[in-house]
Amino acid sequence: MTHALVLGAISLMVTAIAGYPAIWFLRRQNVSKEIYEYLRAPVESAAGDAPTLAPERHAAKAGRPTMGGLFLLAGILVTTLAGNLFGRYSVGLPLLVMGSLALLGGIDDYGSLRGRAQWALNKRVKLAVFILISLAAAYALYNLLDLRRVHIPFEGSHDIAGLYLPVALGVIVVTAGGVAVTDGLDGLVAGTSALAFAAYGVIALLQEQTYLGAFCFTVTGASLGFLWHNSHPASAFMGDVGALALGGGLAVVAFMTGHWLLLPLIGVVFVAEGASSYLQIGYFKLTGGKRIFRMAPLHHHFEELGWSEVQVVQRFWIVGALGAIIGIVLAMEV
């Protein structure tokens, strides 16, 4: 436990310090994007009459650098190498998945920057590569690590054999996507990711998976180090380069502990955010333009209800912390 906490502290400091030159460099390179998705998305007003524009206060964020997930990942990599964790399967696999998804997210981020639309990644191509990376991760869990089991609280451990591969694929895709859509408010995805990885770090250490636990706390520390720069008002945004990586890594870690059934609790914010987006899109198409939420994903719905950005983020952190605590308790009941 001490080793894991030390690595977490190192990762936090490395990421926080690295953020200063990284943000300076991103600004110099004009690595920023328009915030048009907030300003041009119509939503129903509280009275149900003419649509109004989504929170215009987000316009102030235009021009701030994105792709800040690069220095978050750098903090994870440096600490992993310093802690001599890299050669372990329990660290190598989630790190490789995170790196692959970071590359995909980084390419997509670059294409969304102002003046770089010609580099934009086709959505179908992005989805196909995303699924291929997730499939490779699921295959590695199933065949290389020979994982087949799921731990069910109060029930025990069960072998699900051939179901493992498609379930792992689906969970990795959904989790990474859920984390990506959560990245919309200052500090939201960094704080909730830190909580989720810390929870799985505790679970891994309780299982005596020392290296996996240390890796989880390394990611927790890096997320908090990123939060140093991403707390309101954010100096930089994470982007898909960081969010997809965190989501994919979290799902892989969950399967390596066998407690992936607890992901809806430990990652409750990501589940709610992702579900709100899918439900909104589906309901909109089925009803010819009606909406369940005033705006999706869920954090924007609460902004439309009158919550400030800081209130939404802090309350979502509280929900995430509660889910993480309950998840740890249930993991101890297998």
What pLDDT, in 10s, does the model give residues 4-33? 999 999 999 999 999 999 999 998 888 876
pLDDT tens, position by position, 275-327: 999 899 888 888 888 888 888 899 999 888 899 999 999 999 999 999 999 99
- Side-chain-side CA neighbours of residue 76 (13 Å): 28
> Tokens 């607890």, residue?
262
Give the pLDDT confidence of 60-87 residue by residue, as tens digits.
Answer: 666 788 899 999 999 999 999 887 766 6
Q: How confident is the model at residue 46 (pLDDT cuts 50, 70, 90)?
A: very low
| Residue 242 structural domain | 2-331
Neighbours of 234 (CB within 10 A): 21
What local confidence, expressed as pLDDT, does residue 117 receive?
Answer: 61
User: 């870690």: which residue's tokens?
Assistant: 253
Q: What percent of the chain stands above pLDDT 90? A: 63
What is the predicted pLDDT for the residue at 123? 86
Burial class for 142, CB neighbours closer than 10 Å (0-12, 13-18, 19+): buried
Determine the pLDDT at residue 89: 73
Cα 317 to Cα 271: distance, rounded to the nearest angstrom: 14
Asked if pLDDT for residue 197 goes beyond 90, the answer is yes
Are the C-beta atoms of 79 and 221 separated by less than 8 Å? yes
Rounded-to-integer distance, Cα 46 and Cα 57, Å: 18
**What would the DSSP string read from start to end of 141-188?**
IIIIS---EEEETTTEEEE-GGGHHHHHHHHHHHHHHHHHHHTTSTTH
Amino acid at 119: W
How many domains does the chain contain in total?
1
What does the DSSP assignment read for 101-140? HHHHHHHHHHHTSTT-GGGPPPHHHHHHHHHHHHHHHHHI
